[in-house]
Amino acid sequence: MDILITGANGMLGEKCFEVLSERYSVIVTDLSDRCVYSDRATYAKLDITIEDDVIGFVRELRPDAVVNCAAYTDVDGAEKFKDIAWNVNVKGVENLIRAVEPLGSHLIHISTDYVFDGDGGPYKEGDPPNPVNYYGFTKLKSEELLRRSEIPHTIVRTNVLFGQTHYQQASFVHWVVSQVSSRKVIHVVNDQFGNPTWVDGLAEAIARILERKAYGLYHYGGKDYINRFAFALEIVAVFGLDPKFVRPTTTRALGQVAKRPYRGGLVVDKIKKELGVRIYSVREALRAMKEGQ
Ligand SMILES: NC(=O)c1ccc[n+]([C@@H]2O[C@H](COP(=O)([O-])OP(=O)(O)OC[C@H]3O[C@@H](n4cnc5c(N)ncnc54)[C@H](OP(=O)(O)O)[C@@H]3O)[C@@H](O)[C@H]2O)c1
């Protein structure tokens, strides 16, 4: 099977390359000139917002499956740069759909618990979405495009991704470890809940979806439903750091630009039951990350 990964330099893209290239022939693409983590990867520059490029590239490659890890993931930035967020998260997906339409390739697209308002999480696949910020709105629109299309596709919603990858800009674990190691006090919200997801587990789940040709909508997340402050305390515990540098705060006090869902997170019963994927606890994932350092 030939697999194309878009946004492959990002956190999930890197793990997908790692897991999928052991079994399949994988071509990785992203915005930059090179693959940031591997010299052996077959890499090409591909901006998913440029329709002609996407159609030309995909139709020539004729992949059996496309895993779309490309996204504009800056939740606060999306409020300010709405056109960029729309172009990448919606138009980009539309381009991919159009490109694979005549090929019948399986398109796997990643979405988020931010399609929900956070009044009643963790959420099941059948719960009604109601995004409270622009990022969540664009991700919901991309889901709707796929549902309206007639291509074989899977939408995988996830939340609070973490793991050991080259791309560390948005890594919560990296931020907590680096700040607390240098004895800086950090304030972390204790009113935003989710089930933090080890990116390695999500990449394994995507491999299972590909293997089984499991179409439709799935939620994938971790075992523990916790708030971000509790997550930060788990991180300092596993990395042997001093918890006194981690202090609780609230979303209101932090004043983030974009509104956040408070009780987000995802129920993962469906993917567990149908595909038998492994769900990881925060502690076991963090320990594996520490051992792999
Ligand atoms: N991270 C989370 O906590 C989280 C939670 C729920 C859902 N998700 C979803 O999971 C997926 C993967 O997230 P992630 O954390 O791996 O994201 P990430 O680390 O931000 O990676 C996204 C990648 O896409 C690239 N990209 C941006 N615009 C592009 C374009 N026009 N064409 C091609 N590539 C483009 C980015 O490049 P640049 O860095 O150069 O812009 C980056 O390498 C996304 O769909 C995201 O919405 C993530």
Answer yes or no: are the C-beta atoms of 221 and 280 closer than 8 Å. Answer: no
Measured in degrees and rounded to the nearest 5, phi and psi for residue 215 equal -90, 160
- Encoded tokens for 160: 């609070």
Pocket test for ligand 1, best of 12, 142, 171 (most atoms within 8 A of CB): 12
Q: Judge contact between 48 and 86, C-beta under 8 A.
A: no
Mean of the pLDDT values across residues 79-103? 98
Query: What are the structural domain ranges in the chain?
Result: 2-164+195-222+265-280
Triad 17, 22, 27: Cα angle to 5°: 40
Tokens, residue 40? 């052996």
CATH level 3 topology of 2-164+195-222+265-280: Rossmann fold (3.40.50)
- The reported pLDDT for the residue numbered 166 is 87
Residue bearing tokens 């893209």: 13
Give whole-number Cα distances, 94 to 103, 138, 140, 186, 218, in Å.
Answer: 15, 12, 13, 40, 20
Would you state the pLDDT for residue 236? 98
List beta partners, residue 64. Answer: none
- pLDDT tens digits for 244-272? 999 999 999 999 999 999 999 999 999 99
Q: How do beta strands 65-68 and 161-162 pair?
A: unpaired
**CA–centroid distance, residue 45 to ligand 1 (Å):** 15
Confidence band for 169, pLDDT divided at 50, 70 and 90: low
Q: What number does the ligand 1 atom closest to the CA of 161 have?
A: 3
Question: Cβ(133)–Cβ(259) under 8 Å?
Answer: yes
Amino acid present at 52: D
Give the active site residue among 72, 114, 135, 167.
135
**Of the candidates 79, 216, 117, 208, which has an alpha carbon nearest to the alpha carbon of residue 157?**
216
Most ligand 1 atoms within 8 A of CB, residue of 31, 54, 73, 231 to mutate: 73
Residue 220 appears among annotated catalytic residues: no
Query: 218 Cβ partners below 8 Å, 6+ apart?
Result: 125, 154, 155, 156, 157, 205, 209, 270, 271, 274, 275
Which of helix, strand or coil describes residue 180?
helix
Instruction: Look up residue 83 and give its two tokens.
Output: 């056109």
The closest-lying atom of ligand 1 relative to the alpha carbon of residue 114 is 6
> In Å, what is the CA distance from 155 to each residue of 67, 68, 152, 217?
10, 10, 10, 5
Q: What tens digit of pLDDT does each residue of 181-239 get?
A: 999 999 999 999 999 999 999 999 999 999 999 999 999 999 999 999 999 999 999 99
User: Among 180, 167, 194, 27, which residue's Cα sits nearest to residue 105?
Assistant: 27
> Which residues form ligand 1's pocket by a CB distance below 6 Å?
6-7, 9-13, 30-31, 47-49, 69-73, 88, 92, 110, 112, 139, 158-161, 167, 170
Interval between CA 69 and ligand 1 midpoint (Å):
6
Prediction pTM value: 0.98
CA dihedral sign of residues 268, 273, 277, 278: positive
pLDDT of residue 167: 76
Per-residue pLDDT of 12-70, as tens digits, reads 999 999 999 999 999 999 999 999 999 999 999 999 999 999 999 999 999 999 999 99
Residue 292 burial (10 A CB sphere; 0-12, 13-18, 19+): exposed
* 164-180: average pLDDT: 87
Contact 282, 224 (CB under 8 A): yes
pLDDT of 76-87, one tens digit each?
Answer: 999 999 999 999
